[in-house]
Every structure is written in structure tokens, then in C-alpha cells.
Amino acid sequence: MAPVPAPGAGHHNPNMFHSIAALRALAAFWVLAAHCMIWGGWYGVPLPSPKYAVDLFMMISGFLMVAQADARGTAEPLSQGRNRLRFWLRRYFRLAPAYYLALGLAVVTAPYFLAGYQALQDLNPSAWEHEAVYRPASIEYSLSNVLLHLSFVFGMLPQWSATTMLPDWSLGLEMQFYAVFPFLLLAFDRWKVKALIAAVAVSLLLAWLARRHLVITEQSLLVLKLHQFLAGMLICRAKTWRMVAVAMLFAALDRRLAPPLLALAMSVMVHRESLGLLPAWLRGRWIHFASEMSYAVYLFHGFLISAFGLAIAHSTLLKQWSPPVRVAAMFGFVTVGSYAFAWVVYRWIELPGIEWGRQLSQRLLATATGTPGSPAGDR
């Protein structure tokens, strides 16, 4: 196929990728809907596994990190140590405040939070009898467990990757990716696609060793999923559809069909946006709202699922509902509650956290240069 404009060409503000915002909104809603069916005991709608939605989140993260780095350009080169520190500070304050709230809520409400999930498992014991990872009765919020999660170190320790009943294993992945991203981008800038191929090769070797010698509960080790982040990075920099094909190959290394199709869909949507062909409804306020709420919805929807489980445990009428009716009711309750709560978290936790990270990064630049820093797009 003849070369075409880069799928990301013409964009300089990473917060203005309406196509990526739509995909982020989709991924969060996908996780919520699938979890309602899984925990409600009826998966009658042919919605693919929520693990694929998390793969999409990883590609989006890789894409946006490159877009943000490109937007700052020469004003904040990641080749300088202080700019890497500023990058890490912003990313930490983007993820940590809302996550710490979720972890704190899980610890404080542990008897009820875990009981709600247990009640849902008790409704469908045959489906959960062989479950080895998500077992509410085995969760203990010990000091070591909490400290490992507060530090995000848990992501590098497979035995701790699923010990909170929160969907935080992917956050461990994100923090590991942020740690290496500046160096990956510098290598990409110097050696182009060859650098990413080398990174994939090394990560696959390390992933093989990890699977051989460690018990993997959730795929929270970066080497197990680095290729998905790299696929997103490559899509952002793709100048031809041949490069998009390489990104799809990266995404396909999990030996599943959905991730490369998601990579292709992302590439097509970003390319159409660069040509001004993205449908108007994908640029609408509801998509923007759902995208902004996506992180908090992903983090907190489990509390609403648990609350529904507690309601079932204390209601004979709810226990008598058929699985499809139960899932429909759960879906309505969890959707409304999650997006409403997400708005509160976004307004009062996420936005202040973003601002704290921005201010700290500016102070770091001012200390280093003796002049105030005001980079664009600190989100």
C-alpha cells in the first residue's frame, strides 16, 4: 500500500485526540459491562473479555505518552534528567490520588466490600469453585499488602498482583511503563522501529523466564505486556500503514485476535481524525465526559458491584431473580452509580492531583533554571 499521512499527523495537543478519547471511554464502559455479567452470573451478551479492554488501555497509554512528549518537543526533552523527573511526577500525580482513595475505601470498608463479592460468588458456586485468583475470603489488607500497593511495587511481585479485589494490577503495569518510557522514546528517536523490535525481543525473553520460574496470577509484570504499550507508541508515530502493520504484529504477540484488531481500529480512527473525517458524535460532549470519567469508572465500579452483592445477600426477592434480570439490574445500578461517583472523584481528586503534579514539575524546572516553567498540556 502506498504511504499515507501518519495516523497521528497534524496533532500537537495530546488532549485533542477525540478518537483516542472515544476509545478510552469505550474501554472503561467495556470493563464495567463485562464485570457486571461476570459477577452477576450471566454472560449472555457476546462481549469480549474485559482483558482485551485493558489491552486497549495499554495501547492508548503508549500512544498518549508519545503524543504528550511530542507536544512538549524541544521545550522539555526527555534526554535531560530533570525533564524525566518532571514526567514521572506528572504521571504519578495523575494516577496515585484516585488510586489511593480506592485502596483506602477498600481497606476501611473491607468487611462489606469483600462480603458483597462473596455473596455474588455464593449465588453461582459452580462457576467460582475453581477460581484461584479472585477469592474474597482470601483477601487480607495486611500492612505489607497495603504498603506494597501504595508504593506500586506490587506490580513487580506476581504474588501480590491480585490481593486487593481492585482492578489495580494494570496500574502496576502503567507505573512500570512510565519508569522506562523516556528511555524507550529516546531509543525510538535514535534507532526508529528497530529499537522497539529490540525492546519486544528482550521483553519476550524475560516474559518466558518469568512464566517458567514464577507463579503468575495477573499479568502485572511489564515484560508480559510491554508489546501492547509499544504498539500504541508505534501507532502514534506511524507514517505508513506498513508501520501500523508492525504495531498490529506487536499487539498480536499475545496470540489472540482481538488486540491486533483493536490496534487497527485505533490506527484507522486516528487517521480519519487527521483527515477531518471523524464522525461528529465521536467529538461530542458525552464522549468527552465518558473519557474524562474513564479512570475513576475503571477504579471504582467494583465498589458498586459489591454493593449490589450486599443488597442481594439481604433480600430474598433479589435472590429469586433470574440471572439475566439480575445482571440487567446490576448493570443499571453500577453504571449510574459509577459515573456519578467518578464525576465526584474527577472533580475533587483527579483534577487537584493533576494540578499538584503540574505545580511540582514547574517548581522543579524553576529550581533547575532559575526561571518559572509553564509547559503546555501538563495533563
pLDDT score, position 298: 98
Residues 6 or more apart whose CB falls under 8 angstroms from that of 273 comprise 11, 17, 18, 19
Cα separation, 193 vs 128, in Å, equals: 43
Residue 74 pLDDT class (50, 70, 90 cuts): confident
Question: What's the mean pLDDT in 144-159?
Answer: 97
Residue 73 pLDDT class (50, 70, 90 cuts): confident
Residue 95 pLDDT class (50, 70, 90 cuts): very high
Question: What's the mean pLDDT in 267-284?
Answer: 95
pLDDT score, position 30: 98
Predicted confidence (pLDDT) per residue in 190-219, tens digit: 999 999 999 999 999 999 999 999 999 999
Cα separation, 169 vs 219, in Å, equals: 7
Return mean pLDDT, the chain: 92
Are the C-beta atoms of residues 311 and 51 closer than 8 Å to each other?
A: no
Predicted confidence (pLDDT) per residue in 30-55, tens digit: 999 999 999 999 999 999 999 999 99
pLDDT score, position 366: 75
CA distance between the termini of the chain: 36
Q: Over 80: is that where the pLDDT of 150 sits?
A: yes
Comparing CA positions, the residue from 180, 185, 152, 173 lying closest to residue 72 is: 185
Question: What's the mean pLDDT in 297-323?
Answer: 95
Predicted confidence (pLDDT) per residue in 278-303, tens digit: 999 999 999 999 999 999 999 999 99
The residue with greater pLDDT, 254 or 373, is 254
Cα separation, 152 vs 157, in Å, equals: 10
pLDDT score, position 198: 98
Q: Over 70: is that where the pLDDT of 13 sits?
A: no
Residues 6 or more apart whose CB falls under 8 angstroms from that of 41 comprise 120, 123, 124, 127, 323, 326, 327
pLDDT score, position 16: 62
Query: What sign does the CA torsion over 338, 339, 342, 348 have?
Result: negative
Question: What's the mean pLDDT in 55-66?
Answer: 98
Q: Over 70: is that where the pLDDT of 1 sits?
A: no
pLDDT score, position 367: 74
Q: List the single range of 5-9, 170-174, 191-195, 329-333 with lowest mean pLDDT.
A: 5-9
Outline where DSSP puts E strands in the chain. none
Give whole-number Cα distances, 82 to 76, 182, 278, 364, 369, in Å: 9, 12, 38, 7, 10
Comparing CA positions, the residue from 17, 14, 13, 16 lying closest to residue 271 is: 17
Comparing CA positions, the residue from 346, 251, 332, 261 lying closest to residue 298 is: 346
Q: Over 70: is that where the pLDDT of 344 sits?
A: yes
Question: What's the mean pLDDT in 169-174?
Answer: 97
pLDDT score, position 362: 87
Cα separation, 160 vs 162, in Å, equals: 6
pLDDT score, position 369: 62
Predicted confidence (pLDDT) per residue in 217-259, tens digit: 999 999 999 999 999 999 999 999 999 999 999 999 999 999 9
Question: What's the mean pLDDT in 182-186?
Answer: 98
